[in-house]
Amino acid sequence: MPLFELDDVSIAYHTRDSAVFAVNRVSLGLEAGTALGLVGESGCGKSTLALATLGLLPRFANVWHGAIRFEGQVISQMADADLMTLRWRRMAYVPQSALASLVPVHSIRRQFRDTAAAHGMRAAEADRRAAELFRRVELDPIVLDRFPHELSGGMRQRAIIALALLFKPPLLVADEPTTGLDVIVQRQIVNLLTNLRRTEALSLLFISHDIGVVAELCDRIAVLYAGEVMEEGPTLEVLANPSHPYTMGLARSFPDVRAPDRPLVSIPGHPPRLSEVSQGCPFATRCPFVRDLCRTDKPRKSGVGRDRSVACHFADEAPRMAEIATRPGIWEEGGAAA
């Protein structure tokens, strides 16, 4: 049984007149001790899934369909009081912006103590655990008596990772924890999370738009677009031999230091609005390989090789599409490659 599982989950945001879906029929699992990376453009539903995992969706959003399970419990149907007993002790959250998440007028030590007190840990034990965790994330415990604005971006991110590990939770949900940091600090955070996975036996749900970071940190990858999973499988296999055109474009939209002359892809257009409901593939309007079937019929996830799946009508043509996708200008030709 997976530690964490999304079973055919749809998540709706409610307006005055209707409901719009940020996540549509997503099914994913995370085994204990592994890391799953969620990648995709802004607005594809990554952060919504992260918040739903922790039961932290805003009041105007809810899990409309399906179930979210953690350690066999259906947390998407839990009362808030029951969820509070799980958060921090069994599953913890590392937000995108540490500065926005830390209380600016309290010292870091005070924030450790307040979190500990909310879950029944004494102040003395919180101090001991905080000092231990700060050494683990390579921060001097003296930093505990500083305020958030006195720390650099990388130090704040390390501090909030330490705070998330206060109760040794088996699941850590990290929502773009390297965004806004320079590449050297990003490297430090990735190394830190890699080491923590090994020493703390952590399972990691890692949300990012940076495929390079996900490739290094995660065992498996799920590529999201318009709230749906386009492709999912072992990270290195998916990125080396993508089966969905969106993955092909996304994987080539980042520079590779090992291939500095490789041309970069810029996928024209933009994802559909949440209010736009398509009967076909959500990527059809931007796909260089689009055909009539793509516009009228939604593709179902199907297996491609061992332990991989893709939602594309023409996944069996992936090698041909992948070769064409590297040609200059192909992404600007609006379906001419089909």
Question: Is residue 292 one of the residues assigned to a domain?
Answer: yes
- Note the pLDDT tens digit of each residue in 313-325: 999 999 999 999 8
Last residue within a domain, chosen from 167, 184, 207? 167
Q: For position 212, what pLDDT does the model report?
A: 85
Beta carbons within 8 Å of 125's beta carbon, 6+ residues apart: 116
d(CA 294, CA 120): 54
Give the three-class secondary structure for 302.
Answer: strand
120-156 as b/e: b if 16+ CB within 10 A: ebeeeebbebbbebbebbebeeebbeeebeebeebbb
Give the three-class secondary structure for 184.
Answer: helix
Residue 338 burial (CB count, 10 A): 15
- Range of lowest pLDDT (18-22, 123-127, 170-174, 334-338): 334-338
Cβ proximity of 174 and 197 under 8 Å? no
By CB neighbour count within 10 A (0-12 exposed, 13-18 middle, 19+ buried), where does 247 fall?
buried
Question: Is residue 16 one of the residues assigned to a domain?
Answer: no
Q: Report the domain count for the chain.
A: 2
Instruction: List % helix, strand, coil for the chain (3-state, nearest 5).
Output: 35, 20, 40
- Note the pLDDT tens digit of each residue in 51-72: 999 999 999 999 999 999 999 9
> Residue 1 pLDDT more than 70?
yes
> Residue 259 pLDDT more than 70?
no
Question: Is residue 320 one of the residues assigned to a domain?
Answer: yes
Question: Is residue 290 one of the residues assigned to a domain?
Answer: yes
d(CA 255, CA 246): 17
Average pLDDT over every residue of 223-244: 95
Q: For position 200, what pLDDT does the model report?
A: 81
Last residue within a domain, chosen from 110, 139, 167? 167
Q: For position 288, what pLDDT does the model report?
A: 92
Cβ proximity of 41 and 209 under 8 Å? yes
Task: Give Cα 166 distance to the centre of its chain.
Answer: 22
Question: Is residue 316 one of the residues assigned to a domain?
Answer: yes
Determine the structural domain holding residue 134 and report its residue range: 98-167
- Note the pLDDT tens digit of each residue in 118-149: 999 999 999 999 999 999 999 999 999 999 99
Question: Is residue 188 one of the residues assigned to a domain?
Answer: no
Last residue within a domain, chosen from 167, 190, 221? 167
Order of strands, edge to edge, in the sheet holding 302-303?
91-94, 171-175, 203-208, 35-39, 220-225, 228-234, 309-310, 302-303
Question: Is residue 233 one of the residues assigned to a domain?
Answer: no
Cα dist. 285→281, 316, 334 in Å?
A: 9, 21, 8
Question: Is residue 78 one of the residues assigned to a domain?
Answer: no
**DSSP β-bridge partners for residue 37:** 206, 221
Cβ proximity of 221 and 206 under 8 Å? no
